[in-house]
Structure 1
Amino acid sequence: MSELPGMDTPALRKFLSESGVEVSGELRVELISGGRSNLTFKAFDDTSAWVVRRPPTSGLTPSAHDMAREWAVTNALQITEVPVAKTVAFDAEGVVLGAPTTIVEFDPGRVIRTRADLDDLSDADIAANTTELIRVLALLHSVDFEAVGLGSFGKPDGFVGRQVRTWARQWESVKTRDLADVDRLRDKLHAAIPSRSASSIVHGDYRVDNVILTEGDTSSIAAVVDWEMSTLGDPLTDVALMCVYRQPIFDDVLGVSAAWTSDRYPSADELAQLYSQASGVELTDWNFYVALANFKLGVIGEGITHRALAGSDTGSGAAAAAEATHEFMAAGLRAIEGKN
């Protein structure tokens, strides 16, 4: 049987053994997800299972596939109440699979990804799921990052300004054509950067399909996953991105009818208020954060198409993901101009 792209099963088995992990019987590997972000595999033997994550094989968006970042934060959060998978091993140099790779224990719980995954859930289930999502995000933002050894994990001072500049540079790296709305929104964001902001650990990609629910219980999160965009920064960037992900056009970026864009979940405004109530944090300069989140998603959609054109993404609708870019930029302009 041929290897999956980006995987070398014999090398992975050797690395697990050298990391003190006993492999019982044949090691098998299945692809869980790939193409949109980091490649995610399930590796398993006769008794145990692990999740193996590494960057895509080509067409990388700079800074968007940082496995060292993912490893650092999940390892540090082991001693907190934030639910994360148990860390197992990290190949920082990319010796095993040709790129930096993280390995954590596999959790058998449920992931809600698509609209169809909601079919067997009642409205009460979804309400309980929403409450838990908000609770865990607020819990993450309340972690004392200095106390868990993440004081040098990022530079929270000036974070939102750097975010604007970073995503503007990302656009120049991945754009497949010029769009006037991108330049307009970038300039308006530069002009509206808040003078002060809070600091916390931020996940950078928080929504329902980036958590694993406890098996049989939609009101309990067993593990938050996909931490490669995490850093120290302004918690409202996390909240705004979670809310902006609710737009139906996000389906074009994911290439599926996403659960998180379903109208069965609360609206973006309702989610923001739920977070404010759970965390006790005021949504100051909220229109700026919503505009920035739209800017990011427009660039992300463009990047997916950029990678598809480079030949690294064969997922559903990848080549068309950039079609959502204009709508995200337009939504960002409406937000920052107070027209929402």
Structure 2
Amino acid sequence: MVYTQDTRPVRHGEELDVNKLERFLRQKLEIPSGDMQIRQFGAGHSNLTYELSVGEEWKVVLRRPPMGPVAPKAHDMEREFKVLQSLHPVYPLAPQPYLYESGNLIGRPFFLMERRDGLVFDHSFPEGVDATEELGRQLSETMVDRLAELHSLDYRNTSLKDMVKPDGFMERQVHGWMKRYEKARTDDVVSGERLKKWLADHIPTSKDASIIHYDYKLNNAMFSKGDPSKMVGLFDWEMTTVGDPLADVGAAMSYWIQQDDPELLKTGLGKPPLTVREGFYTRDEFIHRYAEKSGRDVEDIDFYVTFAYFKLAGIVQQIYYRYKNGQTEDPRFAGMHVFVNHLIRHAEETAGL
């Protein structure tokens, strides 16, 4: 999900009962007088995210799972809420969570968190921002540095230590995503058997464990209006856990599209991201700076990037599966099987198959 400054009217079929929500929230929170309004953040392909507001004084963000059946253990609102509770005090880029509701109110669990204000860089530069190569370089540096900063935190000093099992992380990830891909597979996507065998045969030994965001990409970050190179928020903590930090770097690189990438890789999730522009780091430059900032050995990074493409294929396939089975009517999902097949082929190329 992307927290841009722009919201829009709620999509048909994804409405919330504003009167029921307002009555409930006024019992739990201090909210100024006035009518509550609900608008929706329009981007994102997974959880549904809304802005609740009363005038200009009070604004919060509500996160809930998508409509229809969801994959087991996916879209766990309570877990994401607890992750934010753990991280916000030690990593202030994570927004402050306010409350969690288990599902009795709107039929699905949801949580509320603070609404941050700033710039989001997605497919184009925000209005009023000078689109310079220098800014592209600064944004790239900031993205690397804030990721290395997250990985430097000691998870044992947070309540995450009671929520995670870092031992055997990569083995669980590789075999877990193989199962998820197969369970969500439709007859118009490839099996990926050759790639899955390569991944299973090349799992590296993790050298350490850290807090990982695991959905780290430019449009999940927010930057200062006064200094567009300064990050002021980081969102979408649904996949956050403790595990191999290089898996986080690999996942980030699967979203970090560069100018010479195949066209379908650039456009598989919509318009090409800003990272294809001059000035932004290449993946190699990103990885090199991460190695310098973190002090970590990145010798096995090709495995992690290959796995990240496969994992992304699995995520996209789960979305497409819901569309093909009539669980969502969002037209953005109609051709996602094409992107899934391309991701599998691209991962095979990255693996040298």
TM-score by length of 1: 0.91
Which one-letter code corresponds to 1:269 in the other structure? D
Indicate whether 1:94 and 2:103 are aligned: yes
C-alpha contact 1:179 1:326 (8 A) present in aligned 2: yes
C-alpha contact 2:46 2:66 (8 A) present in aligned 1: yes
C-alpha contact 2:217 2:256 (8 A) present in aligned 1: no
Looking at structure 1, the residues matched to 333 and 350 of structure 2 have their Cα atoms a distance apart, in angstroms, of: 27
260, 274, 278: which one aligns with 1:259 = 274
Query: Structure 1 residues 312, 180: CA separation in 2 closer, same or farther (over 3 Å shift)?
Result: closer
Looking at structure 1, the residues matched to 289 and 46 of structure 2 have their Cα atoms a distance apart, in angstroms, of: 29
Q: Which residue of 2 aligns with 1:294?
A: 309
Looking at structure 2, the residues matched to 170 and 154 of structure 1 have their Cα atoms a distance apart, in angstroms, of: 20
Query: Structure 1 residues 15, 132: CA separation in 2 closer, same or farther (over 3 Å shift)?
Result: farther
187, 196, 202: which one aligns with 1:192 = 202
Question: CA shift at 1:229, angstroms?
Answer: 0.9
Query: Structure 1 residues 160, 110: CA separation in 2 closer, same or farther (over 3 Å shift)?
Result: same
Q: Deviations over 1:33-58 (max 9, x none)?
A: 36611001011002110011101012
Looking at structure 2, the residues matched to 275 and 293 of structure 1 have their Cα atoms a distance apart, in angstroms, of: 17
- Mind listing any 5+ residue stretches in structure 2 that lack a counterpart? 1-8, 258-262
C-alpha contact 2:67 2:328 (8 A) present in aligned 1: no
Indicate whether 1:32 and 2:41 are aligned: yes
Q: Which residue of 2 aligns with 1:145?
A: 155
Indicate whether 1:109 and 2:121 are aligned: no
Which one-letter code corresponds to 1:189 in the other structure? L
Q: Which residue of 1 aligns with 2:81?
A: 71
Query: Structure 1 residues 6, 172: CA separation in 2 closer, same or farther (over 3 Å shift)?
Result: farther
Question: CA shift at 1:217, angstroms?
Answer: 2.1
Indicate whether 1:281 and 2:296 are aligned: yes
Looking at structure 2, the residues matched to 305 and 269 of structure 1 have their Cα atoms a distance apart, in angstroms, of: 31
Which one-letter code corresponds to 1:26 in the other structure? D
Q: Which residue of 1 aligns with 2:222?
A: 212
C-alpha contact 1:34 1:56 (8 A) present in aligned 2: no
Comparing 55-64 with 153-162, greater Cα deviation is found at 55-64
Q: Which residue of 2 aligns with 1:11?
A: 20
Looking at structure 1, the residues matched to 175 and 343 of structure 2 have their Cα atoms a distance apart, in angstroms, of: 18
Looking at structure 1, the residues matched to 242 and 142 of structure 2 have their Cα atoms a distance apart, in angstroms, of: 22
Question: CA shift at 1:123, angstroms?
Answer: 1.3
Q: Deviations over 1:218-262 (max 9, x none)?
A: 211111100111111111111111112134534544233333454
Looking at structure 1, the residues matched to 270 and 329 of structure 2 have their Cα atoms a distance apart, in angstroms, of: 11
Question: CA shift at 1:288, angstroms?
Answer: 1.2
Looking at structure 1, the residues matched to 23 and 40 of structure 2 have their Cα atoms a distance apart, in angstroms, of: 19
Looking at structure 2, the residues matched to 301 and 211 of structure 1 have their Cα atoms a distance apart, in angstroms, of: 21
177, 184, 187: which one aligns with 1:174 = 184
Query: Structure 1 residues 179, 129: CA separation in 2 closer, same or farther (over 3 Å shift)?
Result: same
SS at match of 2:281: coil
Looking at structure 2, the residues matched to 85 and 38 of structure 1 have their Cα atoms a distance apart, in angstroms, of: 16
Q: Deviations over 1:118-167 (max 9, x none)?
A: 97421111211111111111111111111122102211111111111111
Identity within the alignment, %:
29
SS at match of 2:317: helix
Looking at structure 1, the residues matched to 109 and 268 of structure 2 have their Cα atoms a distance apart, in angstroms, of: 25
SS at match of 2:98: strand
Query: Structure 1 residues 73, 250: CA separation in 2 closer, same or farther (over 3 Å shift)?
Result: farther
- Mind listing any 5+ residue stretches in structure 1 that lack a counterpart? none
131, 151, 162: which one aligns with 2:141 = 131
Q: Which residue of 2 aligns with 1:165?
A: 175
Query: Structure 1 residues 94, 212: CA separation in 2 closer, same or farther (over 3 Å shift)?
Result: same
Looking at structure 2, the residues matched to 237 and 6 of structure 1 have their Cα atoms a distance apart, in angstroms, of: 36
Which one-letter code corresponds to 2:34 in the other structure? G
287, 307, 323: which one aligns with 1:272 = 287
Q: Which residue of 1 aligns with 2:4?
A: none
Looking at structure 2, the residues matched to 177 and 261 of structure 1 have their Cα atoms a distance apart, in angstroms, of: 33
RMSD: 2.4
Which one-letter code corresponds to 2:341 in the other structure? H
Which one-letter code corresponds to 1:30 in the other structure? R
Comparing 71-80 with 247-256, greater Cα deviation is found at 247-256
Query: Structure 1 residues 262, 37: CA separation in 2 closer, same or farther (over 3 Å shift)?
Result: farther
Question: CA shift at 1:59, angstroms?
Answer: 4.4
Looking at structure 1, the residues matched to 14 and 85 of structure 2 have their Cα atoms a distance apart, in angstroms, of: 27
SS at match of 1:33: coil
Looking at structure 2, the residues matched to 120 and 81 of structure 1 have their Cα atoms a distance apart, in angstroms, of: 29
Query: Structure 1 residues 10, 163: CA separation in 2 closer, same or farther (over 3 Å shift)?
Result: same
